[in-house]
Structure 1
Amino acid sequence: MPKIFSIYVNIIDNICVKVGRFVMYGVFFMMFLLILSFVTRNIINYPLMWIIEMAQFTLTAYYLLGGGYSMITDDHVRMDLFYGKLSAKGKAKMDVFTSIFLIFFLVVLLYGSISSLQYTLEYKQKLFTAWAPYLWPIKSLMLLGILLMLLQAFSMLIKDIAKIKGIKI
């Protein structure tokens, strides 16, 4: 395999690992928000209207930005009807086949997220709630997360092709 593929795989894997490890601490922020919501609503009797939406935004950023990291660590959901019984090369062949569908899906999502972000920026879109936050920050993170997953899907595809050919990357 050309050296450019190895460089690409190393760069994308490092970016996704760093982003994933940073984002994993978002769970603690979300827990803080939910505990704060409980305290302000049930103990102080002064509910804050922005907390639940902020927790939803945090969760959205958490799973979208962590997608590439979960692909690297092989923690994503996989239908294991016969995949587990395959050899390493057989698994790589199956992954190459399914990567085609994954990449197509992520390209469609990326296209949709770009147009959604453009719409949001053009019309200064807000949520129709009492808090009424702007949507561009979460839609920007959505775009970044989908892009990282797409780049990681290509990285995984390159690694699987190398595994099939018996080349170490």
Structure 2
Amino acid sequence: MSFLIRLSGWIDWLNERIGRASIWLVLFATLISAGNALSRYGFSLSSNAMLEVQWYLYSAVFLLCSGYTFMRNEHVRIDLVSNRMSARGRNWVDIVGIVVFLLPVAMMIVWMSWPSFVDSYMTNEQSSNAGGLVRWPVRLLIPVGFALLGIQAVSELIKRIAFLTGHGPDPIAPSAHAPVEIPGQPGADR
């Protein structure tokens, strides 16, 4: 079990780093959005490339931060039902949800979106908009984002099993959302 807990720590560390870095994309997308609005309404200038950069950045935030959001327990949850359950019951519901729904869907999306990325990359697919951007980077975000979500699901599964077997704290408890450190390396997160 200790190997699995260390593996979970490494996965959490990875998604924590990617999530923190991706948060900066919100600032860049906001600045580009403001620049687009200023140039369009202030100077009657427009750029499809800048609009697409803005869309790409927002896509990156949502896709790359999905694992981070899950790790921080800030995803959509039916609290009306889960708050009435015991900690063990909530963890069992999460285990079933992860195994039956999340992991299969994440793997399916990675599997099905990879050929689309490869085809786009090989053909150097371009936007159909005049002055638009190359498409393969945004197509790559789909399998990468869902792969990150999938490996985070594995980490969350490990943490929930560790809790149920008495090898770890409750991963759903509010105190479980402290910054992530790799097990065995104190201060590695700073």
Partner of 1:24: 23
Partner of 1:146: 146
What amino acid is aligned across from residue 110 of structure 2 in structure 1? L
* C-alpha separation in 1, matches of 2:78 and 2:51: 33
What amino acid is aligned across from residue 147 of structure 1 in structure 2? A
Partner of 2:40: 41
Partner of 1:61: 60
What is the CA RMSD across the aligned residues, in angstroms?
1.3
* C-alpha separation in 2, matches of 1:90 and 1:25: 36
* C-alpha separation in 2, matches of 1:4 and 1:126: 45
Partner of 1:159: 159
Percent identity between matched residues is: 25
Contact 2:125 2:135 in 1 (8 A): yes
SS of the counterpart of 2:127?
A: coil
Map residues 1-169 of structure 1 onto 2, 5 A cutoff. Answer: 1=1, 3-100=2-99, 101-168=101-168
* C-alpha separation in 2, matches of 1:75 and 1:9: 18
Question: Where does structure 1 differ by over 3 angstroms across 4 or more consecutive aligned residues?
Answer: none
What amino acid is aligned across from residue 146 of structure 1 in structure 2? F
- Relative to the length of structure 2, the TM-score reads 0.84
Deviations 1:19-38 (A, max 9, x none): 10111111110110110011
Structure 1 residue 148: Cα displacement: 0.8
Larger CA deviation: 10-19 vs 117-126: 117-126
Larger CA deviation: 94-103 vs 111-120: 111-120
Q: Which consecutive unaligned segments of at least 5 residues does structure 1 have?
A: none
Structure 1 residue 45: Cα displacement: 1.6
* C-alpha separation in 1, matches of 2:146 and 2:137: 14
Structure 1 residue 122: Cα displacement: 2.4
Deviations 1:67-110 (A, max 9, x none): 11101111111123411111111111000000011000001111
Q: Which consecutive unaligned segments of at least 5 residues does structure 2 have?
A: 170-190
* C-alpha separation in 1, matches of 2:109 and 2:151: 13
Contact 2:48 2:132 in 1 (8 A): no
Larger CA deviation: 70-79 vs 121-130: 121-130
* C-alpha separation in 1, matches of 2:3 and 2:115: 31
* C-alpha separation in 1, matches of 2:65 and 2:158: 20
Between Structure 1 and Structure 2, how many residues are aligned?
168
